[in-house]
């Protein structure tokens, strides 16, 4: 269900259309001007009411909304000059604008980062209030054309720690959970009996307590192999899975960026975790009418927010130090790209990361400190 925008009175901290924008709008028909004004009013109200945390209904501070407003206005004026009047703004537009801002010496990197945050808030509004499916990762766009967040990726050993942490925090359903129906308890008991190699009447509350769930290990294992984007985790379904050949087969219509079918390989460990999860999944009632590989505990598809919440728990459990890194779900993807490029070559990395152009893969590549250490040791 999309976030709704009520018509009750909300005092906006700024005029919905900035003075500079009003001047630019004069060259367009009146209905376009009214349409843009209405769009901006809805956006500002949403930011104030629920934009910060839509699920909790927490809005942004007035000053944050004000600054976001001015930067969004600037972004649209640039967009209109390029493409004509519209209320749409796409991730490709965002890439082009950030590259342009980075190219201007008068815009320090800290200011560009503020534009990135403003645009990400706009995309959050599009996704939550308008039902769009925009995913945007500005991490690779710095003033040199490389990565302003080049350090924001997980190293090889940290990816392993994330998987180990997932094994530790993955609790099985509680036997005495009030939401567990007798039929589902029976299904889970049969599953545990098969898993433990015992008769079903030997399964009791203690077995449920000691059992672990394979959901989180399968998510992390698969993503540490494939670098799935949040939207791809959300779209993933059981038809993608080819356990026999240890791969995911992603149809072109489901791929986040591209028009080709992708076959990405899985490690033996990730395949084993995914196979175990599929057995467990079959015993869970909420998956009876869904072909999603993973759903949250509330029965919803995973989103960037829910995946980052999971990641934060794993980072804490794994004792991974951020060290000035902004670690998000995309940091897994960057780490996978680095690992594949360093160990298997950039062309294999391109295929595994599902990039149409090799230049796209190069944006994500970061020379790992382990590789540089080897090079340094060989110099003298």
pLDDT attached to residue 219: 97
Calpha distance 188→280 (Å, rounded):
8
pLDDT < 50: residue spans in the chain: 1-2, 4-5, 7, 143-150, 258, 379
Q: Are residues 353 and 308 in the same domain?
A: yes
CATH number at residue 365: 1.10.443.10
Grouping H, G, I as helix, E, B as strand and the rest as coil, residue 186 is helix
Domain count, the chain: 2
| 165 occurs within a structural domain | yes
Question: Would the pTM of this model clear 0.85, i.e. be above it?
Answer: no
Any alpha helices (H) in 244-283, and if so which ranges?
268-281
pLDDT, residue 1, reads: 42
- Return the pLDDT at 378: 53
Q: Is the torsion defined by CA of 95, 100, 101, 105 positive or negative? A: positive
Q: What letter does residue 147 receive in the DSSP assignment?
A: -
Q: Does 70 share its domain with 130?
A: yes
My answer on whether 165 and 108 are in the same domain is no
Evaluate whether residue 278 is within a structural domain. yes
The residues, any chain, with a CB within 8 Å of residue 336's CB and separated by 6 or more, are 159, 223, 224, 225, 226, 227, 352, 353
User: Would residue 151 count as lying in a domain?
Assistant: no
On whether both 350 and 286 belong to a single domain, the answer is yes
198 with 277: CB under 8 angstroms? no
Q: Which domain holds residue 34?
A: 19-140
**Is the domain of 218 the same as that of 320?**
yes
- How many alpha carbons lie under 13 Å from residue 277 in its C-beta half-sphere? 27
Is residue 177 assigned to a domain? Answer: no
Strands 262-265 and 241-242: unpaired
Is position 320 within any domain?
Answer: yes
Q: In what order do the strands lie in the sheet with 247-250?
A: 241-242, 247-250, 262-265
Domain check: are 127 and 218 in the same one?
no
pLDDT score, position 145: 45
Distances (CA, A) of 163 to 219, 220, 255, 269, 313: 9, 6, 24, 10, 12
Please report the pLDDT score of residue 89 as a whole number: 93
What's residue 107's pLDDT? 54
pLDDT at 102: 82
Q: Are residues 118 and 164 in the same domain?
A: no
Tokens in use for 209?
């307590």
Burial (CB count <10 Å: 0-12, 13-18, 19+), residue 169: middle
The whole-number pLDDT of residue 369 equals: 59
Reported as a single tens digit per residue, the pLDDT across 335-361 is: 998 889 888 888 998 899 888 778 777
Residues 165 and 313 in one domain: yes
Q: Quickly list DSSP for 55-89.
A: TTTBPPPHHHHHHHHHHHHHHHHHHHHHH-S-S--
Asked if 167 and 288 sit in the same domain, the reply is: yes
What does the alpha-carbon distance between residue 184 and residue 14 come to, in Å, rounded to a whole number? 54
169 neighbors 220 (Cβ within 8 angstroms) = no
Do 265 and 352 form a contact (C-beta atoms < 8 A)?
A: yes
Task: State how far the Cα of 130 lies from the Cα of 2, in Å rounded to an integer.
Answer: 7
Q: Can you list the positions of beta strands (E) in 60-198?
A: none
């Amino acid at each position: 269900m999309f976030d709704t925008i009520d018509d009750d009175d909300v005092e906006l901290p700024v005029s919905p259309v900035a003075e500079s924008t009003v001047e630019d709008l004069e060259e367009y028909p009146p209905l376009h001007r009214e349409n843009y004004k209405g769009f901006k009013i809805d956006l500002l109200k949403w930011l104030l009411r629920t934009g910060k945390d839509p699920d909790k209904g927490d809005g942004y501070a007035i000053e944050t909304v004000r600054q976001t407003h001015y930067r969004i206005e600037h972004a649209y004026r640039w967009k209109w000059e390029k493409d004509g009047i519209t209320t749409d703004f796409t991730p490709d537009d965002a890439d082009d604008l950030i590259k342009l801002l980075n190219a201007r010496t008068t815009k320090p990197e800290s200011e560009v980062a503020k534009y990135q945050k403003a645009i990400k808030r706009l995309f959050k509004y599009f996704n939550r209030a308008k039902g769009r499916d925009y995913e945007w990762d500005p991490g690779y766009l710095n003033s040199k054309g490389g990565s302003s967040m080049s350090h924001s990726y997980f190293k090889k050993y940290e990816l392993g720690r994330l998987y180990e942490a997932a094994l530790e925090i993955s609790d099985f359903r509680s036997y005495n959970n009030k939401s567990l129906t007798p039929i589902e308890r029976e299904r889970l008991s049969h599953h545990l009996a098969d898993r433990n190699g015992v008769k079903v009447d030997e399964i009791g509350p203690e077995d449920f307590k000691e059992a672990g769930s394979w959901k989180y290990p399968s998510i992390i294992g698969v993503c540490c192999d494939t670098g799935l984007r949040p939207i791809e985790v959300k779209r993933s379904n059981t038809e993608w899975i080819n356990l026999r050949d240890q791969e995911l087969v992603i149809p072109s219509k489901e791929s986040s960026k591209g028009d080709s079918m992708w076959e990405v390989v899985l490690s033996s460990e990730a395949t084993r975790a995914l196979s175990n999860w599929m057995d467990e999944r079959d015993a869970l009632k909420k998956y009876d009418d869904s072909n999603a590989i993973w759903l949250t505990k509330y029965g919803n598809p995973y989103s960037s927010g829910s995946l980052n919440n999971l990641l934060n728990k794993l980072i804490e459990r794994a004792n991974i130090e951020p060290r000035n890194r902004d670690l998000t779900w995309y940091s897994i993807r960057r780490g996978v790209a680095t690992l594949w490029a360093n160990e298997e070559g950039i062309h294999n990395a391109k295929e595994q990361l599902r990039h149409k152009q090799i230049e796209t893969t190069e944006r994500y590549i970061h020379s790992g400190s382990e590789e540089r250490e080897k090079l340094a040791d060989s110099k003298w």
